[in-house]
Amino acid sequence: MRKTRYAAAAIAAAAALTLSACGGGDSGGAEATGEAEGSGETIRIGIKFDQPGLGFDEGGSYSGFDVDVAKYVANELGYSEDQIEFSEAPSANRENLLSNGQVDMIFATYSITDTRKETVAFAGPYFVAGQDLLVRADDDSISGPEDLEGKNLCSVTGSTSAQKIKDTYPGVNLVEQPGYAECVSLMAGGGIDAATTDDIILAGLAAQEANAGQFKVVGAPFSEENYGVGLPQDNTTCEAINEAITKMIDEGAWEEAITANTEGADYTFNDELNPPTPEPCA
């Protein structure tokens, strides 16, 4: 039961969009003219490839809540699904991908922060998560980051999750990896006691078939992560993206997407913080 959604998506992958059909990096995609459909323009969107339920590479097609919000927003901007070029945006590369003009938008569990706003802009937020811990299913000794003194904790380079541990819990032995899936593999090997990032990411990884029953999310979030749509600072799309997010929420498509994408996971979103209201664009 845990994996029905991923299995169905994998079957659908055979008929998925092909990147080669997308017109090869036409950067004109950033223009939200509403006339893109059928014009051959593409929009380049950075997502995660290794976070099941959020941004996940099913072998050429992509699934997850970030992907669903990205498709909805792109459609509102005038791009049909086959005009979207998805590419991988690992945590540590997101600001660079935007400021170098390699992608037009990023939907990748990307928290809005003042530090990041020095180099990139954000539309949204479209979701609020909280930083939490993933531990082995039989480990009852860890109920928060204060229990990790002297222990090995894995997180990802360039994430707010790793930064928070460095800033607030310097006694923890932080091991940084390029992605959270690597953290989970290391935990399975036994050398790592816990992994930390947003609760929704950890729940998706714990629910993966390969990890079934091995891990649990502690369930005591210790931050608020406002997921924004990363944009170049000179974008012209922020307002239109906020309108699209609001429409997605008002129409019920947001609720449908979050429900479908967390279906097999042991996760309930915080309904006091969600769905959020997008902030005015700077």
Residue nearest to ligand GLU (CB): 159
Q: Which CB sits closer to ligand GLU, 111 or 242?
A: 111
Name the segment binding ligand GLU (CB under 6 A); options: 38-46, 105-113, 185-193, 203-211: 105-113
Q: Which CB sits closer to ligand GLU, 85 or 198?
A: 198
Q: Which CB sits closer to ligand GLU, 43 or 165?
A: 165
CB of 108 to ligand GLU, least distance (A): 6
Contacts of 199 (CB under 8 A, 6+ apart): 129, 130, 131, 132, 217, 219, 221, 267
User: What order do you get walking across the sheet with 43-47 strand by strand?
Assistant: 84-88, 43-47, 105-106, 225-231, 121-129
Name the segment binding ligand GLU (CB under 6 A); options: 71-79, 107-115, 235-243, 245-253: 107-115
Site for ligand GLU contains 132 (CB under 6 A):
no
Rule CB under 6 A: choose which of 104, 176, 225, 254 binds ligand GLU: 225
Site for ligand GLU contains 111 (CB under 6 A):
yes
Site for ligand GLU contains 226 (CB under 6 A):
no
CB of 106 to ligand GLU, least distance (A): 10
CB of 113 to ligand GLU, least distance (A): 8
Size of the residue set binding ligand GLU (CB under 6 A): 13
**Binding-residue pattern over the window 148 to 187 for ligand GLU, x denoting contact by CB under 6 A:** --------x--xxx--------------------------
CB of 198 to ligand GLU, least distance (A): 5
**Is-contact 53 47, C-beta < 8 A?**
no
Strand partners, 217: 134
CB of 222 to ligand GLU, least distance (A): 13
Rule CB under 6 A: choose which of 50, 68, 198, 199 binds ligand GLU: 198
Q: Which CB sits closer to ligand GLU, 156 or 205?
A: 156
Q: What is the DSSP string of the chain?
A: -TTHHHHHHHHHGGG---GGGG-S--GGGG---S--TTTT--EEEEE-SEETTTEEESSSSEESHHHHHHHHHHHHTT--GGGEEEEE--GGGHHHHHHTTS-SEE-SS-B--HHHHTT-EEEEEEEEE-EEEEEETT--S-SSGGGGTTSEEEEETT-HHHHHHHHH-TTSEEEEESSHHHHHHHHHHTS-SEEEEEHHHHHHHHTSGGGTTTEEE-----S-EEEEEEE-TT-S-HHHHHHHHHHHHHHTHHHHHHHHHTTTSS----TTT-SPPPPPP-
Site for ligand GLU contains 91 (CB under 6 A):
yes
CB of 109 to ligand GLU, least distance (A): 4
Rule CB under 6 A: choose which of 110, 126, 127, 269 binds ligand GLU: 110
Residues at the contact surface with ligand GLU, assessed by CB under 6 A:
91, 108-111, 156, 159-161, 197-198, 201, 225
